[in-house]
Amino acid sequence: LVLPQTRTEAILEARVRDVGVSVRWSAEVVGLTQDETGVKVEVRGADGTLEQVAADYLVGCDGGRSTVRKLVGIDFPGTPGTLTAMLADVELADPPERPVYMQRSEFGQFSVLHQDAGPWRVMTVEYDRVTDRSAPMELADMRTSVARLAGTDFGMHSPHWLSRFTDAARQAVDYRRGRVLLAGDAAHIHHPSGGQGLNLGVQDAMNLGWKLALVCQGYAPAELLDTYESERHPVAERVVANTRAQTALSRPDRHTEALRDLFETLIGFEPVNRYLSGMISALDLRYPIGDPLTRHPLVGYRVPDADLKTTTGDTHVFALLRPGRPVLLCLDPGTVGALTEAAGGWADRIEIVPAHAEKDAWAVPVGEVVPAPGALLVRPDGYVAWADTDPASLRTALDTWFGPAR
Ligand SMILES: Cc1cc2nc3c(=O)[nH]c(=O)nc-3n(C[C@H](O)[C@H](O)[C@H](O)COP(=O)(O)OP(=O)(O)OC[C@H]3O[C@@H](n4cnc5c(N)ncnc54)[C@H](O)[C@@H]3O)c2cc1C
């Protein structure tokens, strides 16, 4: 599935507006203060006027150069860029006979692709050539880069759009400073290889959103927010590492070419392929939830989207998660009564769904097939917090993730 990022943004914006969130464009955070009761944010509007906005918490999702991160003084260590990549949508007076995909040269690689009835998309990557990213990118930069790699600039003119990026890879040392949190590129940047950045940021937000909601609504203690960093920091650390590996593997020299050939052979082995696809898609992600020695094989993983029969009709697990509430799914008719009673103190914030699973074996996201559990507790981000039939351990899990019983 290829979905342009503009389309993803439009879908997300429509969704947040549906749930009552107002989006204000051209409003820039320029200052902030916080104390133990809340955060005050200074916002500059498009006309230059300054306004103060007060909130219980602030989440800086303001990109790799995050003002919020800098204002709260969270360090952003990592590695600087070692290459320059350029992207441009342009007209070509002298286009290639057919599209060029990732042609390598001694300095790097380039692509020249024709988009449906639109301009040409030209991409270049030059290794060991890092340009000053604070200077605006000009058409001349792109022409020079393509000419160096392809021996011609294809008569490039009339740019619609120009962009430049590097493989700088950095990660915030903390994701939380008091009542201020970071998510998305504000917390981590890396080369776009594998198309992992958006997924990583959206999953940060999925992990944090329900925790913040429970804390702000007074159900859960603020310590629940610490699990945001303990769960999400290692995930981005791994993405930063795998993108560094990918850029290292794409260098144009002969030694790297040999390494690439070797890797190509390795990818042909099914377990290696499964390992790498699980990593790039992040579907192999298992949060450190529960006792690693005794937990059910599904605990910590994204819940499988199993087909279910409920008293209100046929459904599937992901449909039950749409309202954004935790779901206690009771699949064993013998224990549903005891579990419903055990969860009574949390009935104000979770959905309890007795159901029959169509299949008695479920696939863990990375491929292993395991017996369907008698019951499972699914967090609003879709990860399994508990899978068992024991009411006492259910109460512990509910208390850990959704605050004390009421
Ligand atoms: C060339 C390229 C290709 C990519 N391809 C893919 C891909 O195929 N798949 C994928 O998953 N990812 C891809 N990525 C990565 C992806 O684009 C980013 O990870 C993602 O956009 C990060 O989203 P974000 O919301 O965290 O930050 P951003 O998209 O950077 O958004 C930050 C927002 O905050 C705003 N902002 C900044 N400062 C302030 C301030 N002081 N006050 C208020 N607002 C502010 C900005 O204007 C911006 O709107 C690619 C990246 C690049 C460079």
Indicate if ligand 1 lies below 6 Å from the C-beta of 205: no
Q: Whose CA is nearest to atom 19 of ligand 1?
A: 197
201 Cβ below 6 A of ligand 1: yes
* Secondary structure of residue 111 in the 3-state scheme: strand
199 lines ligand 1 (CB under 6 A): yes
**Per-residue pLDDT averaged across 257-281, rounded?**
96
In angstroms, the CA 250 to CA 262 distance is 13
Which atom of ligand 1 is least distant from the CA of 61?
A: 26
28 lines ligand 1 (CB under 6 A): yes
Distance 63 CA to ligand 1 centre (A): 5
Counting from 1 in the atom list of ligand 1, the atom nearest the Cα of 199 is: 11
Q: Is the CB of 185 under 6 A from ligand 1?
A: yes
Closest CA to 199 of 7, 8, 23, 6: 8
- CB distance 219 to ligand 1 below 6 Å: no
Q: Give per-residue pLDDT as tens, 164-183.
A: 999 999 999 999 999 999 99
Measured CA to CA, the distance from residue 30 to residue 242 in angstroms comes to 34
- Give me the pLDDT at residue 135, please: 84
Q: Does residue 108 register a pLDDT over 80?
A: yes
Residues with Cβ within 8 Å of residue 266, at least 6 apart in sequence: 272
Q: How far is the CA of 1 from the centre of ligand 1 (A)?
A: 20
What digits encode the pLDDT tens for the residues 296-315? 999 999 999 999 999 999 99
Ligand 1 atom 37: the closest Cα is on which residue? 62
Q: Output the six-digit token pair for 191.
A: 């080369």
CB of 141 within 6 A of ligand 1: the answer is no
The model's pTM is 0.94
What whole-number distance in Å separates Cα of residue 72 and Cα of residue 317? 39
Q: From residue 43, give the alpha-carbon distance in Å to each of 26, 113, 178, 260.
A: 10, 41, 20, 48
Q: Does 197 sit in the ligand 1 pocket, CB within 6 Å?
A: yes
The residue-averaged pLDDT of 218-225 equals 97
**H or E stretch at 120:** strand 120-127
Asked if residue 126 has its Cβ within 6 Å of ligand 1, the reply is: no
- The end-to-end CA distance of the chain, in Å, is 44
The whole-number pLDDT of residue 131 equals 82
Q: What is the pLDDT of residues 62-73, one digit of tens each?
A: 999 999 999 999
Task: Report the pLDDT averaged over residues 338-352.
Answer: 97
Q: In Å, what is the CA distance from 209 to each residue of 38, 183, 212, 333?
A: 17, 10, 5, 32
- Tell me the helices (H) and strands (E) count for the chain, helix number first: 10, 22
Mutate to test the pocket of ligand 1, among 8, 28, 59, 62 (most ligand atoms within 8 A of CB): 62
**Nearest residue (CA) to ligand 1, atom 51:** 192
The CA 251 to ligand 1 mean position distance, Å, reads: 25
- Alpha-carbon distances, residue 23 vs 18, 204, 277, 298 (angstroms): 11, 19, 35, 37
DSSP state of 383: B
Q: From the CB of 87, is ligand 1 less than 6 Å away?
A: yes
